Chain A
Amino acid sequence: MTHAPAYLVLEDGTRYRGRAYGARGRALGEAVFATGMSGYQETLTDPSYAGQIVVQTAPHIGNTGMNDEDPESRRIWVDGYVVRDPSRIVSNHRAQRSLDDELEAQGIVGISGIDTRALTRRLRDAGVMRAGIFSGDDAALDPDAQLAEVRASAAMSGRSLSAEVSVDEAMVVPAVGESIGRLAVLDLGVKASTLRHLAERGFEVHVLPQSTTIDELRALDPVAVFYSNGPGDPAASDAHVSLLQDVLKDGTPFFGICFGNQLLGRALGFGTYKLPFGHRGINQPVLDKQTGRIEITAHNHGFAVDAPVEGVVDSPAGFGRVEVSHVGLNDQVVEGLRALDIPAFSVQYHPEAAAGPHDSTYLFDRFREVVLEHVGRAAERDDQKDA
């Protein structure tokens, strides 16, 4: 059988020959592997994958097609897509179209039929690296030219991608049931499931562009602030960090997820660093140090906070005592932070899951409680003042 060829080229010069999949053309980005066995639709539409070429370790992709219920954002964000065995048909009662068609319609260049395990092991051992997929006319490019393209592409370190994924205009998701107040969500690449969970906890969710200033934020008078997940290097997000520092100084309750966790870390004065190959999967064990419970969690991060895992330390930026609240059990990476003197906490992983297990949705409840407590205390203070 004849198949249109495609090539995956890594910046170290490794070439994999495969078959053209999705749109034809070229895709450049950071090659990362994701180990979830379900939820490709959620993965593809997760804005955190912007700038990346995602390698699915699960061989069969596309079996259940695409539907309008499961996407996590308005479009597919991965820059390129690498799979082993794309499905020829769609089989699911909720499916509305095929993945193949969707990739093509959204112009996502993919490659199939390559040894994804060999590639994964390569990325694991050598670390993630820039890569390119070349299909259609680009497949015929000279291999050296392809490699040169890859090497000329932007590296993830130092890269800011928030502006690409964020909303341009603020939007509001009404609270489910009785509102407990306005929540300012800084959209750094937020997922639909996160907004749903927050709204279900009674927040009137205001999704704000990533360029929001502290004055705009204060003008909204939110009961709390939330930083979402998102792509890019947290070290290249100084504006978001200083915005967060202002929020923390105001004493406004804060919760952050993923990129939001890294930004909280930086706001508190810790560093962040790039992991060799990141965590991207939905089977990652995390210890909640407060309860001693293990959660199986969804991860998608290439950077992590550099903070001492044991004990309580003072925030280098002067926000009081801080502890690492959650630890990844596979490699002891910081998976959550809690400030002890201000109402702020964050997790590196994804309690909203989608894709992934629902073990950690309690964090949204915890956030609601923190906010209610804070609001209650503030009201008490007001009462005392009045009295």
Chain B
Amino acid sequence: MPKRDDITSVLVIGSGPIVIGQAAEFDYSGTQACRVLRAEGIRVILVNSNPATIMTDPDFADATYIEPITPEVIEAIIAKEKPDAVLPTLGGQTALNAAIALHDRGILEKYGVELIGASFDAIHKAEDRQLFKQLVLDAGADVARSHIAHTVDEAIGFAEDLGYPLVIRPSFTMGGLGSGFAYDREQLERMVADGLHQSPTTEVLLEESILGWKEYELELMRDRADNTVVVCSIENVDPVGVHTGDSITVAPALTLTDREYQKLRDIGIRIIRDVGVDTGGCNVQFAVDPATGRIIVIEMNPRVSRSSALASKATGFPIAKIAAKLAIGYRLDEIPNDITKVTPASFEPTLDYVVVKVPRFAFEKFPAADAGLTTTMKSVGEAMAIGRNYATALQKALRSLEKRGSSFHWAGEPGDKDELLAIAATPTDGRIVTVQQALRAGATIDEVFESTGIDPWFVDQIVAINELAEVVRTADALDPELMREAKEQGFSDAQLAELRGLTERDIRAIRHASGLRPVFKTVDTCAGEFPALTPYHYSSYDLETEVAPSEARKVVILGSGPNRIGQGIEFDYSCVHASFALRDAGFETIMINCNPETVSTDYDTSDRLYFEPLALEDVLEVIHAESQSGELVGVIVQLGGQTALGLAHGLADAGIPILGTSPDAIDLAEERGAFSRILDEAGLIAPRNGTATDVDSAVAVAEQIGYPVLVRPSFVLGGRGMEIVYDSGSLVDYFDRVRDQAIIGPGMPLLVDRFLDDAVEIDVDALYDGERLYVGGIMEHIEEAGVHSGDSACTLPPVTLGRGIIDRVREATQAIAEGIGVRGLLNVQFAIGAGVLYVLEANPRASRTVPFVSKALGIPLAKAASLVMAGSSIRSLIDSGLLPETDGSVVPLDSPVAVKEAVLPFKRFRTAEGRIVDSVLGPEMRSTGEVMGIDRDFPRAFAKSQIAAYGGLPDSGVVFVSVADRDKRAIVLPVLRLAQRGFAIWATEGTAEVLARYGIATRVVRKHFEGQQAPEGAEPSVVDLINAGEVDIVINTPSGRSARADGFEIRTATVAADRPLFTTIAQVGAAVASLESGDEPITVTSLQDYAIARAARA
């Protein structure tokens, strides 16, 4: 049953912006699918609004639409491209929901387009809780007792039957959004109300609690001849109660007998068959009662998922790739196993190693959020590690998180056992370390199991690690045998150093002196039964290495590690591009990364892949292994974000050549004094600034340079702890709030900068080869300066900057590039206030906006950068045709405009009382992802970006306006335009007065004061009205002084009600313009068509 010949073109639906629960893994799977389909000669049409993805590179599809993933847009694409089929199973829940909408609206039928990968029926059966439950029972398996509720009252009735705690799961949401445990009636009411709102079908499932049961997942694939294989079993170390995305997970399952495992397998196969996934993959989640072995099926996803990406990386079995082939008609036995080449894909991978995944959280970005883990996913990324045993894989995974305190440690006293056990009873980020400390404090395995539900086998592994640590700590000498034993259990040099009171460097020297180095094993799908032809390696302190000698010239590319807020898929994009470009240029590319979600950790991406922590020790060992043959040209550190950059010095100190900008030059940009000197020499200015180490000196500095000031601790990333402060009272308040974070003090000064009110911020991505500057793009932020560039929408080309400013920006960028000594990429942030150009900061590395620039202007910046780092000149890259002759600083007037918009995760995070965290934008980055809107002018592009990010703006209804005094003048015109378009305008008293004077009819709405009883018979407050769904758009700019009082209530209510919220005037202006562009139907254009138009202009 070979490939179907009736499918010649396929529309692939991507997953849109990175959000919690749906991240880079869908770029990995979508990219694989696009590659496979094209290799099969199929015309691939792609829609995805996320510009940071590899899949949206014009090279990966025949027609790439960076457009919002809505039924209207997809219909426009189908009408234009006339694909034979739509493949919706590789773009997460977003794509699946889009497919359902296309089906429901009759669009598929209208255009005669077939859904492949999963039928509508299959999607429906898997997603509809009631249907699925029946199906599981028919398969002879068990389900948790449950009821479906459509109203809060109904839910209260069912809760009496099920008892508390109980689980609430809204239907058709992704990443468990809106689901969780209710322990009492009050929580139930709130969560059900939210869940009904989140569910597109207004239904929630209430379920008996299986908290504390063991949780497993199987990844299955099935072809149209009904051949089914289980690709991977995954066991959650954290028992049921924690979303699998937030759990530490291990593959393969380690605590099941074969009988128990085969039961899960039998059930899984029945389910994939009965749901009717005929050509593709699915995952099935199980809960197993540790006391009795009773098995409950939790859910199944009839599509490629986060877990399938993990399973693919864990086994070497590329699920998405195979799924795409099955979708176009192949059978499993007709597809070769990628790694062995000689055996077929119709088999089940077997592992001779252990894989551990640990989640990466970002609670520090949302200090008010409840850090307890529930069935709603909260992690923003993950790290995976491979080891020859669990202890090694776990320890490697924990150090891959690059987070202080994430690894096991033995310094100081562990604390009180009972207290630690009590803390560990609630699942949180870092619970595994709490468990380790509790064991240190004398807790028994049973006590830990009692407290956490973590299987005793996993607990014992930590006991063994603690015991070995104690031996290391108390040994007379760290002899080679003992050191080997510690390394075999995954201890890092840093941990051994801590235990022995030495430095990491000392330990490394001792270790190397005794010839103790890791070997590298291969992920081969078959436990060594057949030779592996794909060099996908991991380290192990074992006997035999499998790194094949090569005489090539090698370049090592360091990836960016686990995704986190501030460092995500954008950096992976640059790493992957570098790998492609350098491979094309004849280098052997070697990728090191530990993020299973990414394209960079696809073994197809680079010549060699090392799945290793991005810690100095691990990176040095890979480099050592690769240095045994061929020529190591150097290491690329400037594409993998702060993770890779942070290793530059350590590598340079070890004598490893760093390609591109030197580590010392990088310091020039990071170190404030040195950077000031560079600016002085170039005649550039930065905002007035100073540093302080305590509150008094901070107030003194602030008064000297003038309020408002932007304060930020040094040595933090992603704008952590950054705030705009308007007076000394707020500054004192700031110190109070950050006190317990210990981020300011001697040696860790607070940087205090004059904040430029009403300034326009500009981002520049450029390339410098030592002689010539090549601007990738100049981006104008839509929000004023003060909003973190990662959270700000921006437009390319800039729409309000004159030629003169652009020339000055270009010159300044060149001067900075020269001053620092950049070889490769440079990102500079400028602000223009009152006609003055200020330099805010410069980063000699790939920035978050590199992929956006590349997509918007068709300039392959990361590829060019990697070649510049490897020695090419910009001139030669232009001559070879890689770079266009004119750079991105000059964009012709008839070019399209691209707008990047950030996507924020506020909905996911709640305070301990269950309220949504504040959603005001500020200098600390909190977005998880981004979308791009591209169209012929700014309003249309902005409108698309809003649709892609938030589903678009309503074109009628009620606009509520409440702005800070400084914004009152600027708000008048946009509000007038909204009123003219027929919106009703509501405002708080102060804002209403201003609007009234301009003749805008405004209804005055009572403010809302937290904790204050409304007077008898009073009008409903604005928050009441928002909660009641009567407000359609909210404009609320925070005033510096009371940002946390009234505005907070308004903004959180707006986010909870899922209404558009604008917190800056600039956003409002852009939104008004976009509303006016929405009067015409949306038009779609592929990147390839834009490129043709660009070529015609050139």
Contacts and interface: CB of A to CB of B under 8 A. Distances in A.
Interface of A: 1, 16, 33, 35-39, 41-42, 57-60, 63-64, 67, 69-70, 84-85, 87-89, 91-94, 114-118, 120-121, 124, 277, 281-285, 287, 292-294, 296, 329-331, 353-358
Nearest to B445: A89
A84 B468 contact: no
A57 B333 contact: no
B350 interface: yes
24 contacts: A33-B528, A35-B527, A35-B528, A36-B258, A38-B256, A38-B257, A39-B258, A41-B257, A88-B460, A89-B445, A89-B456, A89-B457, A91-B457, A92-B257, A93-B291, A117-B388, A117-B542, A281-B529, A285-B333, A296-B229, A329-B343, A354-B259, A358-B262, A358-B266
Contacts of B347: 283-285, 296, 329-330
A283 B350 contact: yes
A155 to B, nearest CB: 23
A87 B527 contact: no
Interface in B229-275: 229-230, 252-259, 261-262, 265-266
Given A16-B543, A38-B258, A59 B354 contact: yes
Contact of A283 (B256, B349, B455): B349
Given A118-B542, A283-B347, A35 B258 contact: no
Contacts of A281: 350, 527, 529
A294 B333 contact: yes
Interface in B540-554: 542-544, 546
B255 A63 contact: yes
B469 to A, nearest CB: 12
Contacts of A63: 254-255, 457
Given A59-B353, A84-B388, A64 B255 contact: yes
B229, B261, B332, B527, most chain A CB atoms within 10 A: B527
B350 A57 contact: yes
Contact of A94 (B253, B293, B389, B528): B293
A1 B468 contact: yes
Contacts of A1: 468, 471, 482, 485
A64 B293 CA distance: 13
A344 B521 CA distance: 45
Contacts of B528: 33, 35, 57, 117, 120-121, 124
A33 B530 CA distance: 12
Contacts of B226: 293
A153 to B, nearest CB: 24
A34 to B, nearest CB: 9
Given A42-B258, A114-B543, A93 B346 contact: no
Contacts of B351: 37, 58
A16, A91, A115, most chain B CB atoms within 10 A: A91
Contacts of A118: 542-544
Given A59-B353, A59-B354, A115 B482 contact: no
A39 B263 CA distance: 13
Nearest to A287: B333
Closest 10 CB pairs of A and B: A39-B258, A118-B544, A115-B543, A57-B527, A355-B258, A91-B457, A120-B528, A283-B348, A38-B258, A57-B352
A349 to B, nearest CB: 13
B332 A294 contact: yes
Interface of B: 225-227, 229-230, 252-259, 261-262, 265-266, 290-293, 331-333, 342-344, 346-354, 388-390, 445, 455-457, 460, 464, 468, 471, 482, 485, 521, 526-531, 542-544, 546
Contacts of B542: 115, 117-118
Contacts of B546: 121
A284 B530 CA distance: 12
Instruction: Name the prevailing secondary structure of the B interface residues.
Output: loop
A117 B542 CA distance: 9
Nearest to A295: B227
B544 A60 contact: no
Contacts of B348: 282-283, 296, 357
Contacts of B388: 59, 84-85, 117
Contacts of A284: 347
A58 B254 CA distance: 10
A120 B352 contact: yes
B538 to A, nearest CB: 11
B333 A59 contact: no
B419 to A, nearest CB: 26
A329 B351 CA distance: 19
Given A33-B527, A38-B262, A85-B389, 5 more contacts: A38-B253, A59-B389, A117-B521, A285-B347, A357-B348
Contacts of A282: 258, 348, 350
Contacts of A358: 262, 265-266
B515 to A, nearest CB: 16
A89 B448 CA distance: 15
A356 B527 contact: no
B262 A356 contact: yes
Contacts of A329: 333, 343-344, 346-347
B544 A330 contact: no
A115 B256 CA distance: 24
B254, B256, B351, most chain A CB atoms within 10 A: B254
Contact of A37 (B255, B291, B350, B482): B350
A235 B242 CA distance: 57
B917 to A, nearest CB: 39
Contacts of B257: 38-39, 41, 64, 67, 70, 92, 94
Contacts of B529: 33, 35, 57, 120, 124, 277, 281, 330
Contact of A292 (B225, B253, B291): B225
A67 B293 CA distance: 14
Contacts of B349: 283
B293 A93 contact: yes
A67, A114, A281, most chain B CB atoms within 10 A: A281
Contact of A115 (B266, B464, B531, B544): B544
Contacts of B230: 296, 357
A127 B350 CA distance: 20
B229 A91 contact: no
A253 to B, nearest CB: 28
Contacts of B333: 285, 287, 294, 329
Nearest to A3: B485
Nearest to A41: B257
Nearest to A34: B527
Contacts of B342: 330
A173 B853 CA distance: 74
Contacts of A42: 258
Contacts of A58: 252, 350-352, 527
A36 B292 CA distance: 25
A120 B293 CA distance: 34
A283 B350 CA distance: 7
A80 B464 CA distance: 26
A35 B525 CA distance: 11
B389 A91 contact: no
A362 B908 CA distance: 49
Contacts of A88: 460, 464
A350 to B, nearest CB: 12
B50 to A, nearest CB: 36
A37, A121, A356, A358, most chain B CB atoms within 10 A: A37
Contacts of B331: 294
A330 B353 CA distance: 22
Given A63-B254, A64-B255, A115-B542, A91 B350 contact: no
Nearest to A283: B348
A35, A42, A59, A282, most chain B CB atoms within 10 A: A59
Contacts of B229: 296
Contact of B265 (A92, A287, A357): A357
A35 B293 CA distance: 25
Contacts of A120: 352, 527-529
B887 to A, nearest CB: 51
